[in-house]
A = this chain, B = another copy of it.
Amino acid sequence: MARLIEEKDASEEVRTVYEDIKATRKTDWINNFWKAIAFHPPSLRLLWTQVKQVMAPGALDPLTKEMIYVAVSVTNNCRYCISSHTAAARAKGMTDEQWAELLAVVALANETNRLAIGYDVPVDEKFLQE
């Protein structure tokens, strides 16, 4: 089980990242993921920079990004990631109905992926031209 670095025990370097996480997310709470990665401060800094940039509003809205995150986490069977990103998606407005449809699409995609792989379906000319 991960050793978690609590805020009161954090080095100056780690605390700076924690403060930026709290400011960016407008919360006073740090979830366990960051407390675990803080074990290796260079990873913490690098990763937070990346998450902050990739998950910011852009051509895709933040809720769509969170739902894509959940889709990958379910496919990879990462319990922590499903829990944290489902909570994040809910905080951004995901309804129960949307969550159920998200899982239905993820499940369907995992099913049809194996049919395409098993039957070894050749990619249509038309898709290659695009």
Residues of A within 8 A of B (CB): 1-2, 4, 29, 31-33, 36-37, 39-40, 42-43, 46-47, 49-51, 53-55, 58-60, 64-65, 67-87, 90, 95-98, 100-124, 126-128, 130
Q: Write the chain B residue with the least CB distance to A39.
A: B100
**Residue from the list B42, B50, B64, B109 in contact with A108, Cβ < 8 A:** B50
B36 touches A121 (CB 8 A): yes
Q: In the complex this chain forms, how many copies of it are found? A: 6
Q: Write the chain B residue with the least CB distance to A127.
A: B83
Main secondary structure of the interface of A (DSSP, over half): helix
B107 touches A114 (CB 8 A): yes
> A124 — which chain B residues lie within 8 A by C-beta?
31-32, 83-84
